[in-house]
Amino acid sequence: MAFTPSSLPSLTGKIYVVTGGNTGIGRYTVQHLAEHGARVYLGARSESNANAAITEIKQIVPSADINFLQINLMDLKTVAVAAAEFKNKETQLHGLVNNAGIMATPFEKTKDGYEAQWQTNYLSHWLLTYLLLPTLLSTAAAPGSKPGDVRVVNLTSNGHNFAPSAGINFADIDLVKGGIWSRYGQSKLGNILHAKTLAKLYGPNGTSNEDKGIWTASVHPGSINTQLNKRTSSPLKMLGLVLRALGVYSTADEGSYSSLFAVASQDFKEGDVGGYFVPTAKKGKPSKKVGNEKLAEELWSWSEKEMRGKGFIDA
C-alpha cells in the first residue's frame, strides 16, 4: 500500500524543525507531524505568515505544539541565529526537514555574496544542519534512543539532472555563465550530495569519530501545486498556470508524504539511509553525478571552508 501520514506512529515527546513551514509542502509537513504529537519548530522569514499558518493548523489540530523559528535563507546570519535560538530552547532534535526552496529564479546575489538559488536551496540548509549537528548527535546517543529516532531530510528535485556536466562548478559556483535551470539543478544536486555525505559521516556505519546514528534521505516531492515558482520568469509562470489547469500537479499535502515517510515513518529502514526518494515514498534513481564520492567530499570541504571563512563555524 502507498504511504500516507495516517500510518505514522505517535511522535509524542519528539521535536522537529521544518524550514519553509508556513506554506506549501512544508506547511503540511508541520501539520502531520503535529497531529501525531510532535513539537514542531516552523522555520519562516515572516512571523505574521508563520503565525497565520500556525493558527490555520490549530483549527484542524487544536493540540498542535508549533513554535515559530525566524530564519531567512537569503541571509546566513539569520540561519546562525535560528540555530542558536533553537539550541537555547531545546536539548533534543529528532528530525530536521530542510524543505524551503526557490526554483528557476532570475540571477540574483544574496547579501552574503552567493547566487540566490545556491544559497537558499543548498548552502543555508548545509549551515543550519551543521550548526544543529551537536544536538542531533546527542539526541541519537541519548539513553533510550533507538536506531532511526534522529533523521535529516533534504528536499531536492528531479531537476538535479539539470546540474552542470561537472556536477558542481566550483570555478564558477554562482554559474554566472549558466542559466536559471542549471543554477537550480546545481543547488538540488547539492541537496542530494549533502544527504549522502551526512549518511557517510554520521549514519549507522559513519566514518566520523563523533557519535553516530543520524538517518538521512533526499526527497523529490513530485510536481506540486505550491508557491515554489512564484518568482520565476513570466513564461514559466504561464506554463505553471496551464499545468495547474490540466491537473498535472499534485496537491501540497500529497507533496509532503515522502518527506514525512523519510523523517518519521517506521517503514523507513536502515537500508534506506542516504537514499533518494520519489513520489510516493519510493526509492528513486538519481543522476550518475550523485554516485561521485569525490564530488560529494569536495562539496563538503568547500562548504566548510566557505562557512569558516565567514565566521559561521569554528576554525
Backbone φ, ψ for residue 153 (5° rounding): -125, 125
- CA dist 75 → 82, 84, 125, 128, 305 (Å): 11, 15, 11, 12, 18
152/222 Cα distance (integer angstroms) = 19
185/157 Cα distance (integer angstroms) = 8
57/63 Cα distance (integer angstroms) = 10
Choosing from 28, 184, 202, 276, the catalytic residue is 184
List, as one string, the DSSP characters of 53-117.
Answer: HHHHHHHH-TT-EEEEEE--TT-HHHHHHHHHHHHHH-S---EEEE-----SPPP-B-TTSSBHH
The three grid cell numbers given for residue 150, joined into one nine-digit string? 534522529
Cβ neighbours, 10 Å, residue 241: 10
Nearest to 204, CA basis, from 271, 264, 156: 271
Look up 184 and say whether it is catalytic. yes
Look up 269 and say whether it is catalytic. no
308/44 Cα distance (integer angstroms) = 25
Residues linked to residue 152 through DSSP beta bridges, in sequence order: 96, 216
The three grid cell numbers given for residue 24, joined into one nine-digit string? 506549501
Nearest to 168, CA basis, from 160, 179, 159, 158: 160
- CA dist 189 → 174, 218, 286, 292 (Å): 14, 10, 9, 11
Choosing from 114, 122, 188, 200, the catalytic residue is 188
3-state secondary structure at position 41: strand
Indicate which residues carry an active-site annotation: 184, 188
